Structure 1
Amino acid sequence: MTRLGAIISAVIVLAVIGFASMLSFGPAPATPKQAGVSRDVPAPASTPTTSEGLRVPVAGVPRSAIRDSWGEAREGGARGHHGTDIMARAGTPVIAAADGWVEKLFESGRGGTTLYQRSADRRWTYYYAHLAGYAPGVREGMRVRAGQVLGYVGDTGDAGAGNYHLHFGLTRMHGDERWWQGDNVNPYPLLARQPAGR
C-alpha cells in the first residue's frame, strides 16, 4: 500500500469511528409521560461546563451544607431519587448553576413548578424543581448567566407542604434530545467540590 493509500484508509477509518460515536445504541429515550429522563450514569470525572464548575444553585448555601441524596428510596421504594435536594428557606433565590438558556418552564405532578436549563454547549440540562415561582422576566429561550436568579425555593409538586428545598437534577444530553430526555447524572460530586482555581 502506498503512503497516500494508507493516509486515505486512516481518514476513512476515523470518519467511520466519528460517525458511529454520534449514534445512540441505548434504550429508547423516555417521553414526558414517563416522568423524566431514561437512563442513569455515573457522575463525570470533570465538570459538565467549564473549569469553573457548577455553582450551588441556591443563593447563600455553602457547598459543605449539601448532602448526597442520589438513589434514596422514593414512593415507598418504588423508585430512586435522581438529583440532589438542597434545603433552604421558602423564597430563597434559586440561581443558574452555569451559563446557558432556559429551555422549558413546566408544571409537573412530582416536580411542581420546574425549570429546565440547557448548558451553553447543549450537552447538559440542569433541572430545578419544587420552585415557589419564577423570577420576574424568566421565559423560555432566554439566555442566562451563572448566578442569575431563575426562581425561588418552594414546596410545590410532591415535595410535601413545608418541606422547602430545591431538587437539582443533571442530565447528559446526546445530539438533539429534548428537555425530558438524556442520561441522569448524580450532580452531588459536582456541587460539593470546590471548582478548579479557587
Structure 2
Amino acid sequence: MPSPTISRRVRPAYPILLLLAPVLAAGCATTRPGAPADGAAPTAPAVWATADQPVSPPATVPARPAPSSARPSAPAPRAGLRHVFPVRADNVDYHPTHGAYPATDLFADCGEPFVAVTDGKVLEVSRVDRYTKRGPQGPENGGLSVSLLGDDGVRYYGSHLSVVSSGVDAGVRVRAGQQLGKVGRTGNANNVCHVHFGISPPCPGKDGWWIRRGVLWPARYLDSWRSGGNREPAAEVVAWQRKNGCPKAP
C-alpha cells in the first residue's frame, strides 16, 4: 500500500519582513548624516568633520545676475572728504564778490602753488594761452587752467595760471593739496597775478566755459578751508543744478 502523501503548507515570509522593516529603516537612516530616512535625495550636501576640525556650512554658489544693457553708473559722490585752500601761500587776498557772475579771484604772487581742493580726477587742462582781446570774450579768458572733479561731485576750476604741473592731464587722479600748477596772469588777467577760482557742477555733453568758470559764490567755503575747517559745497551745487540744469551759453 503506497505511503500517504503528506501535504505541507509553506507560509510566506513577508509578515516577518514587514515586522523588521521599521528596524531596518531606522538603521539606514543613521548611516549618512544629512540624508532623509525615506530615501529621498538630501536637500544639502553632508558635512563631515573630525575631532580637530569644526563643522563649516556648505559653500553656496552665488546666483549669476541677469545680463543688462544698462551702462554702468558713475560712482556716487562722497561726503566728508578733506578740503584745502586752493593756493598754498601765506599772503593771499580775495573778495567775497566777483564781476558779472559768481566766482572769486585769489590774489597771490606769481609762481605760488595752486593745489587740488580735494581728492578727485582732472577733467580739463589748458596748457596754451589762446586769449586775445580781438577775439571773442569768454571761451579763452582763462588762459592756462585746470579743472578738477572732486570725489564729492563738485568741479573746482583755477585759471590764469603761469604753468600747469607736469603729469596733470585729463583723467589723472590727484589728492587734496597736490600741486596742479602755479599762480600766473595768463588769459584775461589784466596783467595781475592771481587765480580765478570757480565752483560748479559738471554737465557731461552740454558743458562750456560759462558753467566751468563758476556758478556759486566761493568765499564762505574759502573762509572755512583757510581756517582749517571743512565746509562742503556739494549740497549747494546739487541744489543749484536741480534748479538750473545745464544752461546754454549766455
TM-score past 0.5 threshold: yes
Report the AA paired with residue 196 of structure 2.
H
> Residue deviations 1:101-152, cap 9 Å, x none?
110113553111111111114x211011000011121111100100000001
**Cα distance change, pair 61–54 in 1 and its aligned pair in 2 (3 A):** farther
Equivalent position of 2:103 in the other structure? 83
Cα distance in structure 2, aligned partners of 1:138 and 1:175: 20
Equivalent position of 1:96 in the other structure? 116
Cα distance in structure 2, aligned partners of 1:159 and 1:178: 23
More strand by share: 1
Tell me if the contact between 1:54 and 1:191 (Cα under 8 Å) persists in the aligned partners: no
TM-score (norm 1): 0.60
Equivalent position of 1:150 in the other structure? 180
Cα distance in structure 2, aligned partners of 1:52 and 1:100: 10
Equivalent position of 1:116 in the other structure? 147
**Is 1:71 matched up with 2:91?**
no
**Is 1:138 matched up with 2:152?**
no
Cα distance in structure 2, aligned partners of 1:172 and 1:92: 27
Cα distance in structure 2, aligned partners of 1:71 and 1:177: 24
Tell me if the contact between 2:149 and 2:202 (Cα under 8 Å) persists in the aligned partners: no
Cα distance in structure 2, aligned partners of 1:125 and 1:81: 16
**Cα distance change, pair 49–187 in 1 and its aligned pair in 2 (3 A):** farther
Aligned length: 139
**Is 1:187 matched up with 2:218?**
yes
The structure whose RCO (Cα within 8 Å, separation 6+) is larger is 1
Q: CA deviation at 1:186?
A: 1.1
Tell me if the contact between 2:113 and 2:179 (Cα under 8 Å) persists in the aligned partners: yes
Of 102-111 and 123-132, the range deviating more from structure 2? 102-111
Report the AA paired with residue 70 of structure 1.
T
Aligned-residue Cα RMSD (Å) equals 2.8
Cα distance in structure 1, aligned partners of 2:194 and 2:112: 9
Q: Which runs of 5+ in 2 are unaligned?
A: 1-76, 130-138, 232-250
**Cα distance change, pair 147–115 in 1 and its aligned pair in 2 (3 A):** same
Equivalent position of 2:156 in the other structure? 126
- Helix, strand or coil for the counterpart of 2:188? helix
Cα distance in structure 1, aligned partners of 2:84 and 2:206: 24
- Helix, strand or coil for the counterpart of 1:114? strand
Equivalent position of 2:195 in the other structure? 166
| Identity of matched residues, % | 30
Equivalent position of 2:24 in the other structure? none
Report the AA paired with residue 99 of structure 1.
D
Tell me if the contact between 1:130 and 1:167 (Cα under 8 Å) persists in the aligned partners: yes
Q: CA deviation at 1:94?
A: 0.6
Larger Rg over CA atoms: 2
Cα distance in structure 2, aligned partners of 1:150 and 1:179: 21
Cα distance in structure 2, aligned partners of 1:109 and 1:178: 15
TM-score (norm 2): 0.49
- Helix, strand or coil for the counterpart of 1:57? coil
Cα distance in structure 1, aligned partners of 2:207 and 2:186: 23
- Helix, strand or coil for the counterpart of 1:190? helix
Q: Which runs of 5+ in 1 are unaligned?
A: 1-47, 73-79
